[in-house]
C-alpha cells in the first residue's frame, strides 16, 4: 500500500496578537511561531498506522517555503519513508490553485499511490477544500471528515465520517481515493528531538513549484485583510487576581449556581 500524505507548516495563531500591515495588504506573522497543522499531524499518524499494519510506504509531501522541511522531518520521524517538498515562496490562498499545482506535481513526477491523505483543513486559512478539489480533478472518489478507518483493503476502505452533534456516517470508498482526516481520529505518537534529528539523515527531495504551473491560476482574490467587527464584548474583571476571582464567585452566586 502506497500512501501519500500532505502536511503543512502553519502559524500557531491561537495565543498570538496579529497585526495587519500595509493598510490591509498583509498580516504580519514575523513574530508568530510556526508548527505542523494539527489536522495533518493526525493524518500522518493514520497513514503510518495503515502501512505499519499492512505494509507499504508513506510519502509525506509539503508545499511551502524551505522552512517547511521541518514538517517533513517530523513526518519521517513518525514513520514516513520519503519527504517531498514542493518549494514556493508564494502563499497560494486559492484552494483551486493549490490543488491544481499538486495534481500537476503528482502527474509529472509520477508518484505512485493507493490513497492520498490530507487533513480536513489547515488552521491558517480554514478553507477545507484542497482535498475535495484535488479528488474531483483527478477523478478519484473522496471522503472528508474521516474520524475512523474501520478497514483498509487493497481495493476499498470502510471509514466513518464525523457529522454534527455526535453523529457519524459509515461509508465504503473504492481505492484509489482521497481521504481527508479529522482531528481526534487517533492519538498521534510523540516525536522527540532525537527522532527528528535522526529523520534529518533521510534525504528529502526538493521540487520547485515553478515547474508545475500549468493551469494554476487563482479564481479568487483577497482584496484586503481586516479585523473582525467588534461586539460589545465581555465586561473585564480587572485588577488584583484575588479581587477578580471574588467578583467571579459573586457572579456565580447572583446567577444562583453557587451558594
Partner 1 sequence: MSYALVVAEVRRGVFEERNLDSIGICALLGKDSILLVPDGDYVGSEQLVNGLIKAKVEENVFLNPLTMVNILEKVIAARGKPDMIVFTSSASGTELASYAAGYFNLPIITDVNGYDKEQGIFYKSYYSDKIFGEFRPTGEGPSIVTVRSGSFREFAVDKGSAPSAETVEDVAVSSARTFMEYVEEEKTDVDITKAEFLLSVGRGVGNKDEIPDYEELAGLLKAVISGSRPVIDKLWLPKARQVGTSGKTVKPKVYLAMGISGAFQHIAGMKDSDCIIAVNKDPEAPIFQYAHYGIIADIHKVRDKLKDILKTP
Binders of partner 1 in range 215-254 (CB under 8 A):
217-228, 230-231, 233-238, 241-242, 244-246, 248-249, 251-252
User: What is the C-alpha end-to-end distance of the chain, expressed in Å?
Assistant: 61
Secondary structure (DSSP) of 27-77: EE-TTS-EEE-HHHHHHHHHHHHHHHHH--EEEEEEEESGGGHHHHHHHHH
Cβ nearer to partner 1, comparing 127 with 207:
127
Q: Which stretch binds partner 1 (CB under 8 A): 16-24, 59-67, 71-79, 200-208?
A: 16-24
Cβ nearer to partner 1, comparing 201 with 224:
224
Is 59 exposed, middle or buried, given 0-12, 13-18 or 19+ CB atoms closer than 10 A?
buried
Residue given cell 507548516 in the structure block: 9
Q: Which stretch binds partner 1 (CB under 8 A): 60-68, 78-86, 164-172, 198-206?
A: 164-172
The residue from 95, 113, 119, 204 that contacts partner 1 (CB under 8 A) is 95
The residue from 187, 190, 193, 201 that contacts partner 1 (CB under 8 A) is 187
Separation CA 77–CA 45 (nearest Å): 11
The residue from 37, 59, 96, 104 that contacts partner 1 (CB under 8 A) is 96
Cβ nearer to partner 1, comparing 54 with 244:
244
Closest of 114, 105, 122 to residue 41, by C-alpha = 122
In the bound complex, what is the minimum distance in angstroms from residue 90's beta carbon to partner 1? 16
Report 26-85 residues binding partner 1 (CB under 8 A). Answer: 27, 38, 42
Cβ nearer to partner 1, comparing 46 with 82:
46
In the bound complex, what is the minimum distance in angstroms from residue 190's beta carbon to partner 1? 12
Whole-number Cα distances in Å, 189 to 45, 96, 176: 7, 32, 26
Residue 195: φ, ψ to 5°: -60, -40
In the bound complex, what is the minimum distance in angstroms from residue 57's beta carbon to partner 1? 24
Question: If binding means CB under 8 A, how many residues of this protein chain bind partner 1?
Answer: 90
In the bound complex, what is the minimum distance in angstroms from residue 205's beta carbon to partner 1? 26
Cβ nearer to partner 1, comparing 32 with 57:
32
In the bound complex, what is the minimum distance in angstroms from residue 76's beta carbon to partner 1? 23
Angle 50-53-59 (CA atoms, 0-180°, nearest 5)? 40
The residue from 67, 91, 184, 214 that contacts partner 1 (CB under 8 A) is 184
Q: Say what the alpha-carbon torsion angle 142, 145, 150, 156 is, to the nearest 10 degrees.
A: 0
Report 101-160 residues binding partner 1 (CB under 8 A). Answer: 123-137, 141-145, 158, 160
Q: Provide the CB-side half-sphere exposure for 253 (13 A, CA).
A: 7
Amino acid at each position: 500500500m502506497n500512501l501519500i500524505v500532505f502536511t503543512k507548516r502553519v502559524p500557531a495563531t491561537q495565543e498570538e496578537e496579529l497585526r495587519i500591515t500595509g493598510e490591509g495588504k498583509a498580516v504580519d506573522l514575523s513574530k508568530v511561531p510556526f508548527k505542523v497543522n494539527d489536522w495533518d499531524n493526525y493524518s500522518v499518524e493514520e497513514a503510518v498506522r495503515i502501512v505499519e499494519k499492512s505494509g507499504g510506504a508513506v510519502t509525506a509531501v509539503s508545499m511551502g517555503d524551505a522552512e517547511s522541511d521541518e514538517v517533513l522531518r517530523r513526518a519521517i520521524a513518525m514513520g514516513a519513508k520519503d519527504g517531498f517538498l514542493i518549494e514556493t515562496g508564494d502563499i497560494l490562498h486559492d484552494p483551486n490553485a493549490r490543488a491544481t499545482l499538486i495534481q500537476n506535481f503528482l502527474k509529472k513526477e509520477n508518484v505512485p499511490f493507493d490513497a492520498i491523505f490530507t487533513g480536513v483543513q489547515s488552521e491558517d486559512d480554514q478553507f477545507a477544500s484542497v482535498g475535495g478539489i484535488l479528488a474531483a480533478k483527478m477523478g478519484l472518489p473522496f471522503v472528508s471528515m474521516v474520524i475512523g478507518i474501520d478497514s483498509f483493503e487493497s481495493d476499498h476502505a470502510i471509514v466513518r465520517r464525523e457529522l454534527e452533534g455526535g453523529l457519524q456516517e459509515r461509508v465504503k470508498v473504492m481505492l484509489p481515493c482521497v481521504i481527508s482526516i479529522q482531528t481526534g481520529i487517533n492519538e498521534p505518537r510523540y516525536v522527540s528531538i532525537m527522532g527528528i534529528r535522526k529523520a534529518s539523515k533521510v534525504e528529502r527531495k526538493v521540487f520547485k513549484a515553478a515547474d508545475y504551473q500549468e493551469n494554476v491560476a487563482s479564481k479568487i482574490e483577497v482584496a484586503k485583510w481586516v479585523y473582525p467587527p467588534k461586539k460589545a464584548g465581555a465586561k473585564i474583571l480587572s485588577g488584583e487576581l484575588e479581587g477578580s476571582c471574588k467578583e467571579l464567585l459573586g457572579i456565580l452566586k447572583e446567577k444562583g449556581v453557587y451558594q
